[in-house]
Amino acid sequence: RKASGGRRLSEAAPPLHGSMPMSSKPKQPEAGGRMRVHLPSNLEPTYANFAVITHSRSEIVIDFAQVMPQVSQARVKNRVVMTAFNAKLLLRALKEHMARFEAQFGEVVLPEGTTLAAQLFQPPPSDPTSDG
C-alpha cells in the first residue's frame, strides 16, 4: 500500500493463486517507485478529531474517533493496526505533508499547556466584555 504523496507503506501482496498464468511472475514495484492505489467509488470518508494510540511489542494501534463538545465519550469510527516499521513510515509521511501544508497555508499553531480533552470538554471561555 502507498500513502498519499508516494510513500510506500508495505510491499505489494502477491496475487491470489490462479490469478496469473504460471509462467508470469508478479510484477513488484521498483524501489522508490509509485504503486497504484484503487479507491472504490463507494468509499466514504470518515471524519476523526481524536485519536488514541496504543502499542504492543509487534504492532501500533490507532483508534480514530469523533468527539463532540460537551459529550464525555468519544465514538471510535476506525481502527488501524500496523507494524512499528509501517507506523514509522507513516509518521515520516505525515511530517512531510505537514511541512508542505504549512508552507502553503501557514503554520498550524497548537496551544501550549492544555490537552485536547480539556479543550473539547471544558465550557467555552466567557467573554468579559459581554453583559451576560
What is the reported pLDDT for 5? 46
Confidence bin at 111 (pLDDT 50/70/90):
confident
What is the reported pLDDT for 71? 85
What is the reported pLDDT for 30? 63
Per-residue DSSP letter, 125: P
Cell 505537514 sits at which residue? 98
What is the reported pLDDT for 45? 93
What is the reported pLDDT for 38? 93
Q: Cβ–Cβ contacts within 10 Å for residue 60, how many?
A: 19
What is the reported pLDDT for 39? 92
Own/partner long-range contacts of 89-92 (Cβ < 8 Å, ≥24 apart):
89/3, 89/7, 89/8, 89/9, 90/3, 90/7, 90/9, 92/7
More confident residue, 97 or 7: 97
> Could you report the per-residue pLDDT of 16-27, keeping only the tens digit for each?
444 444 555 556
Q: Is 14 exposed, middle or buried (0-12, 13-18, 19+ CB in 10 A)?
A: exposed
Kind and range of the H or E run holding 54: strand 50-55
The answer to whether residue 41 scores a pLDDT higher than 90 is: yes
Which neighbouring-strand residues pair with 66? 75
Q: Cα separation of 66 and 109, whole Å?
A: 21
User: Where do the domains of the chain lie?
Assistant: 50-106
What is the reported pLDDT for 6? 44
Q: pTM of the predicted model, to two decimals?
A: 0.60
